[in-house]
Amino acid sequence: MTSLPLHADAVRIEPENVPAHVAIIMDGNRRWARAHGLPAVEGHRRGIIALRKITRVASDIGIKILTVYGFSTENWRRDASEISFLFDLCVFFARTEVHELNRNNVRVNVIGAWAELPPSSRDALAALQERTKNNTGLLLNLAVNYSSRAELVRAVRLLAGDIVQGRLAPEAIDDATISRALYTAQMPDPDLLIRPGGEHRLSNFMLYQAAYTELVMTDVFWPDFSPDEFTGAIVEFQKRNRRFGGT
């Protein structure tokens, strides 16, 4: 694989040090819309365009897993019309992006309590996973109706059920056991978490998995988060000295 030049400073990505798993909190759609005098729904629509571009560049530079925070359990508190549009957008994304995803050999996996979505959204996401299941390139995790705390509660209940059924001894529970009970079972933890939008918090996203994840925060709103911004975050990651709690 050839290294990719960055538009901003001509720094090149080191192909041998590309993060295997990148997570993104896609933040700032509504604020982007307000800044441009547009309705919130237009910010979400532009956010889908940004996701398409970032998925393509992530695949091109050799990232194995891209996990994006699309709809949190807290988002249910928003205006009903905005939530309805988000669900419609979910269906639109699932139906219109499948050809692009297949062309780029991207496999889609949905994590979170997405079975609780309205039937049209749930069915569209199920179909998207089915239609991309044979792809062998980038794994795109869509975190939909996701809450990290709810994920941990779910994991505890699964492990408690195994204990009750005699399949697991309490003293046998370790980090690997818990990891296998999460939505991200069998996946490596994120190496890098990017948050556009100017906020500096995890917002209930991958709290357990992000214990030693490198964080890159930027003021750029998600609809304006370009491939250059993304590759810049990768270069920043490659400058870090990851010690995983060591000295």
Location of structure tokens 């046998």 = 172
Q: How far apart are CA 217 and CA 164, in angstroms?
A: 43
Q: In what order do the strands lie in the sheet with 214-217?
A: 107-111, 139-146, 65-72, 21-25, 192-195, 214-217
Instruction: Report residue 170: phi and psi, to 5°.
Output: -55, -40
170 contacts 192 by C-beta, under 8 angstroms:
no
For 114-171, the DSSP string reads GGGS-HHHHHHHHHHHHHHTT--S-EEEEEEEE-HHHHHHHHHHHHHHHHHTTS--GG
Instruction: Report residue 218: phi and psi, to 5°.
Output: -140, 150
As annotated, the active-site residues are 27, 75
